[in-house]
Structures are given as structure tokens and as C-alpha cells.
Amino acid sequence: MKARVHIMLKDGVLDPQGEAVRHALGTLGFAGVEGVRQGKVIELDLTATDKAAAEAEVRAMCEKLLANTVIEKYSVEIA
């Protein structure tokens, strides 16, 4: 089973890397970009066979290690 975790900064948290990308895009002539938020994707290969149990386990991983839940939000996809 595979899991994909999308992690983004919460709304209102300053994103200097996203702002640097927005500025660079403007420099390259892409003037229509008003904002950029940078995130990360983590893919996990799991041995679990139960989808609900796998999702619960991945959410626990996010809470304990993968995401800084003070400033980041995350979503989990199980396939």
C-alpha cells in the first residue's frame, strides 16, 4: 500500500521560500503570479493491508514527526 502526505504551511504563516519563487518567476517574465506557497510531498510504502488502519498510522506519523503541526497542515492519500 502506498501513502502520499502533502504538507503545507498554514494560512498566515510567512513563506519566505514561496516568496522567493514568486519573485524569481516575475524576474523570468511570469508577471501574473500573485502568490506562491511552497510545500512538500512525502511518499511512503506501507506493509499494511487495511486502508483505514494505514491512514491512521500515517496520520500518527505526521503528528509525531513528518509535519510541524504548529505551523503546518497536512493531508493524507492512501492508495
Question: Cα–Cα distance between 75 and 31 in angstroms, integer?
Answer: 30
Residue 21: band (very low, low, confident or very high) from pLDDT cuts 50, 70, 90: very high
pLDDT computed for residue 70 by the predictor: 98
For strands 39-45 and 72-78, give the pairing: unpaired
d(CA 77, CA 35): 26
pTM of the entire structure?
0.89
Cell numbers linked to 75: 493531508
Share of the chain above pLDDT 90, in %: 100
